[in-house]
Chain A
Amino acid sequence: MSVVSNGLPTAQEIVGPTPGQRLRRRLFGHRGIVVGGSILGVIILMALLAPLIAPYDPYDQILTARIKPPVWYPHGTWEHILGTDQVGRDYLSRLIYGSQISLLIGFFAAALSGLIGTAMGIAAGYFGGRVDLVVTFLITCRLSLPVILVSLAVVAVIGGSLEVVILVLGLLLWDRYAVVMRAATLQVRSLDFVAAAQTVGCSTWHILVSEILPNVMNQLIVVATLEFAHAVLLEAALSFLGLGVQPPLPSWGLMIAEGRNYILFDPWLIAIPGVALFTLLLAVNLLGDGARDVTAPENRG
């Protein structure tokens, strides 16, 4: 912020920081967001640059180089910094490529369920009446189904793969979106600018997309981060039970499942992908919590 040389304050200083600047300050001042965001940023970068930074092909199996320990163990070498897995694939490379899978699943599953849930929630909140009744009923039904068991049953029948997992999770995880969006829409729809738009004669679609949606976006983002984490966790669990992503895909959950037999004597095989998963989920949760804190009541309007 510059000060005019004659000592008088600038217009900027009189008015105070713009909403954009205020938001930025809040964002970067919040430790959770900074930490979470940086970690997530690193992981995304890792996923995007995977072909460049991974030392080996993650699918290259060298059966004579099985279960080599990471470099900090007595027999570890710098050739395989994080060691190799049970068929001789370099663990560091698999870890790096695995980030792609986790991010893909988290993003698309959260997006799909977000689409479904948001549409239902906003519709219920805006139109009320019978629409609300139906949506609430559907939400209650969905909540009564044990998600893991249903996913297992469905995948067992139609076969597991990346696409199937995303589809199944996307079609099951919309409940929180619907609940939160409904509540948020209820709060927003009674505000002046919505009434104004209605009076002017805007189409319902216009109102929903241009007036309501932007104002519930904050809460949508919070839920999205939570469901992202939820989807990643569930995929890991499904892969652990053998009904998720298929080998030889380097999904972190599948790596834990494959390394499960070696946990007693070669624990790094499941410790490393476990830490990776944990880090990703931690980052996403911190971001979500931060988003919730930052977009607390004072930021409405």
Chain B
Amino acid sequence: MLVYTAKRIVLAILVALTISMLVFSLLYLSGDPATALAGESATSADIEKIRHAYGFDRPVWVQYLSWLANAAQGEFGNSLYFRLPVWDLILERLPTTMTLGVSAMSFAIVLAIPLGVLAAMFPNSLIDRAALFMAVVGQAMPSFWFALMLIVLFAFTWPVLPASGSDTWRHFVLPTIVLGYYATPAFMRLTRTGMLDVLSSDYIRTARAKGLRPWTVLFKHALRNAIIPVVSLAAVQFGFMLGGSVIIETVFALHGAGFLAWESISRSDFPTVQAILLLFSLLYIVLTFVADLLNAWLDPRIRVG
């Protein structure tokens, strides 16, 4: 287990470093960052002043290392738009995105797992087909369209839920449904497949033959084994959700980190964009790392791989 963990840590660090290099180079996609920053009616003297002030006159690898070193301490400089520290801006908005992500994940799991279990228990029945249909529908519906439809229905036609803002738990209901619904099919299929496999295995057949009650069979044995791939999928999906929250946050005016990223991209507020991209990537890396460890602990066969 220790060797496995060590290998995984090394991999995670390498990936993180590569991502940081990619994110850092984003600044140079648009050409000379000093000119972009200098903006209004800048003379070449002004541009040189800015170049020196921000350190763009140093060799690129020096700039990268110093950015990285600062980033490690949470120092990302000031937002070009707000002129406030980027880190503060992100910290202020991160709880909203996290709340959205966690509740969407919970919604997806609460909806998907029972459906998946049912579908596996009664394969090819009406429930199975309905669940599979729901899965396909979920994958075929653009999330922004679904969001707009829900707003029209539940905030306008029958005004029972707020359409924007993030003040109370009720503000998160519609966004959670939209974001969570998109992840539900994957969970449902995985649970269903896992349960189907396990239910038809020798182990279960033996348990049944021994006369154990069907509910015991189901929960104590089958579900436990089927959960394992769901755990790692949860980590992966959470990472995707962070990126995909941009659209939801924009439509519902949830001032989260995803929305800030999108606004910063359109304002060319590079320091903020870099910081958020790095943060989301790191979160994903950490999550998958934890999920890998969890999986390896639950299913020893994985550690050998």
Contact = CB atoms under 8 A, between A and B. Distances in A.
**Contact, chains A and B (beta carbon distance below 8 A):** yes
Main secondary structure of the interface of B (DSSP, over half): helix
A65 interface: no
27 contacts: A140-B11, A141-B22, A143-B239, A143-B288, A144-B16, A144-B19, A144-B288, A145-B277, A146-B239, A146-B277, A152-B261, A152-B262, A156-B265, A157-B30, A158-B29, A237-B143, A237-B144, A240-B144, A241-B246, A256-B142, A270-B145, A270-B148, A277-B142, A278-B141, A281-B140, A282-B140, A285-B140
A145 B30 CA distance: 20
Interface string A216-255: 0000000000000100010011001110000000000100
Contacts of B262: 149, 152, 241
Interface string A1-41: 00000000000000000000000000000000000000000
Contact of B136 (A140, A145, A260, A286): A286
A263 interface: yes
Contact of B284 (A143, A240, A260): A143
Contact of A150 (B15, B239, B244, B277): B277
B230 interface: no
A157 B140 contact: no
B247 interface: yes
Contacts of B242: 146
A248 B151 CA distance: 27
A145 B22 contact: yes
B228 to A, nearest CB: 18
Given A229-B139, A270-B145, A278-B140, A148 B152 contact: no
A147 interface: yes
A214 interface: no
Interface in A142-178: 143-150, 152-154, 156-158
Interface of B: 11, 14-16, 18-19, 22, 26, 29-30, 136-137, 139-145, 148-149, 151-152, 156, 236, 239-240, 242-244, 246-247, 250, 258, 261-262, 265-266, 268, 273, 276-277, 280-281, 284-285, 288
A144 B284 contact: yes
Contacts of A154: 29
B136 A282 contact: yes
A153 B144 contact: no
Contacts of B11: 137, 140
A240 B18 CA distance: 30
A260 B265 contact: no
A149 B136 contact: no
A34 to B, nearest CB: 15
A237 B30 contact: no
Nearest to A279: B140
Given A145-B22, A282-B140, 8 more contacts: A141-B18, A145-B277, A146-B240, A149-B262, A233-B142, A253-B142, A271-B149, A274-B149
